[in-house]
Amino acid sequence: MELKWMDWNVFYVTVSILVLIIIAFVLFFLRFRRKTIKLKQELEESDNNFQELNEKWKMKLLKEEDNDRHLTDILDALPFPVHVKDVEQGFIFRYLNKTSVDEFGNGGLFKTARDVLLEENVERIHKIDQQVYDTGVTYVSQEEINCLDGRSYRTLVQKSAIQFEGRRHVLIVRWKIGELLDLQEKLREMNRQNEVILNNINAGLVYITPNFRVRWENFSKFSMHPLAKLFKVGDFCYKSLHGRDSPCPDCLVLKAMETKLLQKKELGSLEENEVMELTVIPILDAQNHIEGYVTRVDDITKQKRAYCELEKAKLKAEESDQLKSTFLANMSHEIRTPLNAIIGFSNIMSYADSEEEIEEYNRIISTNGEMLIQLIDDILDLSKIEAGFVELNVSKFDLSALLGELAITLQQRAGKEVIVKTLLPRAHFLVELDRKRIMQLVMNFATNAVKFTRKGSVTLGYEFLEGEDVLGSGSYLKIYVRDTGIGISEKNQQKLFKRFEKFDTFAQGTGLGLSIVKSIASLMGGEVDVDSKLGEGSTFSAMIPYVFNDSDADVLLDENSCAISNDDLCELSYKDTLPEQNLGKKVVLIVEDNESNLFLVFSILKDYYQLLLAHNGREAVDLVRTQKVDLVLMDLKMPEMNGIEATRKIRMFNAVVPIVALTAYAFDVDRKKIIEAGCNAFLTKPIHHKELVEQVNHFFCE
């Protein structure tokens, strides 16, 4: 059948479409194949990458597992519990380190605090856990844990919010602090006790750091001292104390820093009634480095005053000891001197040629006996007065008559150029006092006046003082002794009325007289006084409270009415040249300032030797230098120049003449000085007739 044109067109169109479809399919197939090959290649590459990535993940997982293991080991090694709590799941434990497991048991994981703690703890703990979970704010505090098994802990806990397994959890770390708190309490108690002690040691303490900051002080807690407000904790010491910006130039802390030694200094004085001692003590560590400084401030006013008083007492004791030694030496001399005359003249009385000599010897023995009694009386009086055993025996007597009698007695002791007189306002004046003590008072004043007045006068007198003429109110009787002697320096006047004080060690006396006078005046309610100028004379007086009665007085006398001359008094004179009848005999020089002792030696030797006489060391040196002298009898205690000094001067130009010391000193040390000075021998007073003659003959026989 013949196809129609139209059918062929349809056929061609259909074929064309099929061809196009086939072409399209082929092209799609080819493209698909190309993509398939490419995809295969990509799949092959992806497989390789996956394997590599898988290896990397495996390595990373192994590393994380290793890190996790290390972290677990570290957490398990911690000595305190560490656990993670899941608040959303009912506060269960999601992690426990080894210490936590030990505390809560192996079954603690996925359990809650209620499984291990008492209920009273659980509610409080869960409340805080919830607070940390909600706010994310870290919580740190102390908590006491009480377990169901009876265990109890005091802990320091820290709770923090963390991300764990994609959700918020609470990390809890606990430290057992029971022992630490006990130790802290012990330290706190120890610090409290130490602070109590430091605050009650009666000293200000300050701890200063090496950079001069005040770290601690106790001034403000107990002291009212101005320094209490100046040491401020935290401030530099130099700033708070002195307002400076740098340490003071003379700072003790600086000195302690330089020397690493304790430093001290005193602040204030007793005159200001405050003495503070500042001490800085450097604190060194094991390497000898300074850690700080302890500064101590002590109020040592009382100690300083006590020390000064002790020092004064020590000096006074030493002075008393020295005075005692001097007193004993003086007593040896003062007792032996009259004893020498008494024993010596008693021995030679049997050799007297006439009644006149015997009478003279008796007078000398009597005079020296009185001197010895007076010496003993002085010592006993002082002892009784100091012991409070002296009572005043008041009686009525004529004071004017008493002074007149004493003037006559004193004139016998005075030198040829000295007049002893009285200055009496009334011819008779009856007083009611202790006559013996008044006489003792006047005699002690007057004896010194006669002793130290070589030319002029010694005046005994009294006068009345009332109102403004005296210290205080009332009426006084002033009894005085005035002389024209050598006077006393102002320095020595301050020591006049002390015991055993003697300004002329060569003058006879104990050094007790004026001390006794002062005690007597005090016993009568009065006082003593002295007015003296060196080289012009002195006035010693005692002012005694007394109520006057005009009926006891008589007519007034003239000033010089009772003056007594010394012309008629018995006196022995000596020459410094030899009498003609003794020419050809050995020449003996007697050096002695005491008239009785001089006369004793003179009387013993006058029939055997030619005698030269000297009254002091200076005269002796001149006589040995200008005269032919075969032997010297040398007293040691003399005015102007003593025997030891005179012996040394003689030995400078004459080493041959024998010198025998006549001494009242009985101590070995004194005898040693005598021999060292150049004396050949010595005789101790009292001197005996036989011993003196034998000693002199011994040298002449040699």
- Among 293-302, 546-555, 687-696, where is mean pLDDT lowest? 546-555
- Residues 154-167 pLDDT 10s: 888 888 888 877 88
Of 336, 427, 446, residue with least CA distance to 688: 336
Measured between alpha carbons, how far is 598 from 606 in angstroms, rounded to an integer?
12
Residues 6+ apart with CB under 8 A from 386: 519
Structure tokens at 138: 């870290």
Instruction: Please say if the pLDDT value at position 279 is more than 90.
Output: no
Give the side-chain half-sphere CA count within 13 A for 487: 10
End-to-end CA distance of the chain: 215
Measured between alpha carbons, how far is 393 from 85 in angstroms, rounded to an integer?
112
Residue 587 confidence (pLDDT): 92
Instruction: Please say if the pLDDT value at position 107 is more than 70.
Output: no
Strands (E), 467-558: 475-483, 527-533, 537-545
Torsion from C-alpha of 102, 103, 107, 108, nearest 10 degrees: -130
- Residues 181-219 pLDDT 10s: 778 888 888 877 777 666 666 667 788 888 888 877 776
Band of residue 588 on the pLDDT scale cut at 50, 70, 90:
very high
Q: What is the pTM of this model?
A: 0.39
Instruction: Please say if the pLDDT value at position 363 is more than 90.
Output: no
Instruction: Please say if the pLDDT value at position 536 is more than 60.
Output: yes
Structure tokens at 8: 């062929």
Instruction: Give 340-402 as a 3 state SS string.
Output: HHHHHHHHHHHHCCCHHHHHHHHHHHHHHHHHHHHHHHHHHHHHHHHHCCCCCCCEEEEHHHH
Residue 460 confidence (pLDDT): 92
Instruction: Report long-range pairs for 399-403 (Cβ below 8 Å, ≥24 apart).
Output: 399/429, 399/430, 399/431, 399/433, 399/438, 399/462, 399/479, 400/424, 400/426, 400/427, 400/428, 400/429, 400/557, 401/428, 402/435, 402/438, 402/439, 402/442, 403/442, 403/460, 403/461, 403/462, 403/562
- Among 53-62, 254-263, 635-644, where is mean pLDDT lowest? 53-62
Measured between alpha carbons, how far is 496 from 392 in angstroms, rounded to an integer?
24
Structure tokens at 507: 């003058």
Contact criterion met (CB below 8 Å) for 124 and 157: no
Helices in 606-688 by DSSP H: which ranges? Answer: 617-626, 643-653, 668-677
- Among 547-551, 554-558, 605-609, 626-630, where is mean pLDDT lowest? 554-558
If you write DSSP's letter for every residue of 208-265 in order, what string do you get?
E-TTSBEEEE-HHHH--SGGGGT--TTSBHHHHHH--SS--TT-HHHHHHHH-S-EEE
Measured between alpha carbons, how far is 522 from 378 in angstroms, rounded to an integer?
17
- Among 106-115, 458-467, 535-544, 639-648, where is mean pLDDT lowest? 106-115
Q: What residue type is assigned to position 240 of the chain?
A: S
Measured between alpha carbons, how far is 183 from 241 in angstroms, rounded to an integer?
37
Instruction: Please say if the pLDDT value at position 578 is more than 50.
Output: no
Residue 461 confidence (pLDDT): 92
Instruction: Please say if the pLDDT value at position 153 is more than 90.
Output: no
- Residues 241-266 pLDDT 10s: 667 777 777 788 888 888 888 888 87
Of 563, 695, 549, residue with least CA distance to 631: 695
Of 673, 663, 687, 692, residue with least CA distance to 334: 663
Instruction: Please say if the pLDDT value at position 649 is more than 90.
Output: yes
Give the mean pLDDT of 682-699. 83
- Residues 290-314 pLDDT 10s: 888 887 777 778 888 888 888 888 8
Cα angle 457, 334, 532 (rounded to 5 degrees) comes to: 35
- The H helix count followed by the E strand count for the chain is 18, 22
Instruction: Please say if the pLDDT value at position 25 is more than 90.
Output: no
Residue 573 confidence (pLDDT): 31
Band of residue 574 on the pLDDT scale cut at 50, 70, 90:
very low
- Among 23-27, 203-207, 214-218, 690-694, where is mean pLDDT lowest? 23-27
Residue 663 confidence (pLDDT): 78
What is the dihedral sign for C-alpha 36, 37, 43, 49? negative
Residues 6+ apart with CB under 8 A from 492: 503
Residue 2 confidence (pLDDT): 46
Measured between alpha carbons, how far is 564 from 493 in angstroms, rounded to an integer?
30
Residue 581 confidence (pLDDT): 42
Band of residue 660 on the pLDDT scale cut at 50, 70, 90:
very high
Residue 657 confidence (pLDDT): 93
**Peptide linkage before 686 cis (omega within 30 of 0):** yes
- Among 46-55, 351-360, 639-648, 673-682, where is mean pLDDT lowest? 46-55
Instruction: Give 319-332 as a 3 state SS string.
Output: HHHHHHHHHHHHHH
